[in-house]
Amino acid sequence: MIKKWFKSGDPFIWLNASAVSISIIVVVGLLMVIAVKGLSHFWPAQIIQAELVNETGRTTLVGEIVDTSEVPVQRLIDSGIDIKTDKEVIERSLIKVGNRDVLGSDFRWVIFPENTSIIYPEELTVIERREWGNFYGYLLGISKNGQPLKTNKPLWQQLEQLIDEANQLHDKIRDIEKHEIGGINYELEQLRLKKRRLELDGVTDKSAYKLIESEKRALNDLYNQQKNALVKLYAEATTYTVSAKIMSGQTVTIPLAKIVRAYQPNRLNVFQKISIYFSRLAEFVFDEPREANTEGGIFPAIFGTVLMVILMAILVTPCGVITAIYLREYAKQGFVTRLIRIAVNNLAGVPSIVYGIFGLGFFIYFIGSEIDQIFYPEALPAPTFGTPGLLWSSLTLAILTVPVVIVATEEGLSRIPKALREGSLALGATKAETLWRIIIPMATPAMMTGMILAIARAAGEVAPLMLVGVVKLAPSLPLDGSLPFLHLERKFMHLGFHIYDVGFQSPNVEAARPLVYATSFLLVLVIVILNLSAIWIRNHLREKYRHLDS
């Protein structure tokens, strides 16, 4: 009976279904773990105040419980920690105490004695700062130009209003620095290069130089206007300061311009916590990073990843499709063609770092340097295209993923019935017309499948990008309002490299850990969105050309 059951093939069907189910469960479970560990970081957690009593006296500890773990007592004793307990295993807690500018470190491992008093005072305040991380303590007052602020409003209400105004002021300063002054500096640099180009070409016409100088004077006047406006905004930003007390009893002064937001988590209700949660989550997605990428947002990395993948898809799809069409429809099927297919399949298995070295040597050092010599001599010795950038990253990943597109397109072409080709030719169509009107439309779903696989691989690659264009922090996006708008020579940020940098290069490991999970989840989300977009296009094309199958 069992032998007959095995011969029927049902066990293998069940085995295959079980393997697929287990794989799906594992993937979904992993994504859920990443999502929970990453997204929970933005929830405003409660702040404790603990009174620790030991031989040295009484110590007040204020902070957020980030993690707890059990460790063997003997291991702590061996490391030099004096612990008096009969237990073999003891629980210790990782506390985020903040105030790095005063205490020196954001985090502390603490073992709470059994008689420790832990309370949750409603007055405990969390202040998220643009520098030095979070502040934890008690709010004392607000000062204006060094004098205590006198107002009829409650202190906390006044602080919230001033923080909103300070953030608006910060946005104005950032807009002037990055867009207005940044644009002027860019145009001044272009004028300098234009003048240098005239000198290299031996132009002696003084009118050309005078025109450049007049444009330069106009830009300098505009720069001085923006600079004066910036000086006024900076003076306005230093008007208010906040005084607060930390757990050691020391009073600290925080400039209001350095505060992102402030709240008292032990006093918040659920709806207020949800509001702060989405505010912090929006900051993470749409803002720029700060504090060595351990604070702020990751928008430049998201933008760079998506833009690079789009450029890579634009470059790889025509090359892969044309190659597949030639191999399947035009090339003579012999030893050379088989050798080319073997080479294509082998290229798919080459380690990605090898492509990075190839891109560095061929694209940057060879092609990029030649482009600089021919088209940008005025910028030398500073390289324009002879340095890692967005274009070379996209080309490198296009070469890395082109075997996937070739194989997928060839598979699609091979499934088209031979009768369709012969019928089209019999009706008087040329081979090119048959290819353009019959073969390629029917093979578009397979082409899109190849592009989907290419996007999935390219979006997660990191090793080659470290050599050909990705950096830790890019102050300017590759796409902006300055001509030629899309700057292919610029370096950019990438989610995959950002994860590596935050997880393994950060000076503040504990602060960076939850951001690694959050960024990883966001990278998966970006890949899913890109793939779903390509799948939607594939399904649309499949429905559009379905009539050709009949």
Mean pLDDT, residues 522-549 taken together = 78
Measure the CA–CA gap between 95 and 64, rounded to whole angstroms.
5
CA 26-27-30 angle, 5° bins: 85
| Whole-model pTM over 0.85 | yes
Q: Is the pLDDT reported for residue 391 higher than 90? A: yes
Number of helices and strands (H, E) in the chain? Answer: 19, 13
**35 membership: H or E segment, kind and range:** helix 10-39
**404 membership: H or E segment, kind and range:** helix 390-414
Asked whether the beta carbons of 39 and 521 are under 8 A apart, the reply is yes
Q: Give the range among 43-47, 475-479, 503-507 with minimum mean pLDDT.
A: 503-507
Asked whether the beta carbons of 176 and 227 are under 8 A apart, the reply is no
Average pLDDT, the chain: 86
What single-letter amino acid sits at 120? Y
Mean pLDDT, residues 240-254 taken together = 89
Confidence of residue 275 (pLDDT cuts 50, 70, 90): very high
Measure the CA–CA gap between 325 and 408, rounded to whole angstroms.
11
Confidence of residue 388 (pLDDT cuts 50, 70, 90): very high
* pLDDT per position as a tens digit, 145-190: 888 887 777 788 888 888 999 999 999 999 998 888 988 999 999 9
Confidence of residue 116 (pLDDT cuts 50, 70, 90): confident
In this prediction, residue 360 carries a pLDDT of: 93
Q: Residue 505 — φ and ψ, nearest 5°?
A: -115, 0
Measure the CA–CA gap between 247 and 290, rounded to whole angstroms.
26
In this prediction, residue 207 carries a pLDDT of: 87
* Distance (Å) of CA 29 to CA 16, 18, 32: 20, 16, 5
What single-letter amino acid sits at 316? V
Domain positions in the chain are 39-138+244-249+259-291, 146-238, 303-549
Give the CATH superfamily of 303-549.
Answer: MetI-like (1.10.3720.10)
Number of neighbouring beta carbons within 10 Å of residue 118 = 12
Cis status, amide bond into 381, omega within 30 of 0: yes
CA 176-181-187 angle, 5° bins: 145
Measure the CA–CA gap between 192 and 200, rounded to whole angstroms.
12
What single-letter amino acid sits at 415? R
In this prediction, residue 54 carries a pLDDT of: 66
Confidence of residue 5 (pLDDT cuts 50, 70, 90): low
In this prediction, residue 363 carries a pLDDT of: 93
In this prediction, residue 491 carries a pLDDT of: 92
In this prediction, residue 56 carries a pLDDT of: 63
Q: Which residue has the higher pLDDT, 75 or 467?
A: 467
CA 324-312-496 angle, 5° bins: 130
Q: What is the dihedral of CA 75, 78, 79, 81, to 10 degrees?
A: 90
- Give residue for tokens 């470190």: 105
* pLDDT per position as a tens digit, 323-360: 888 888 888 888 888 888 888 888 888 888 999 999 99
And the tokens for 407?
């194989």
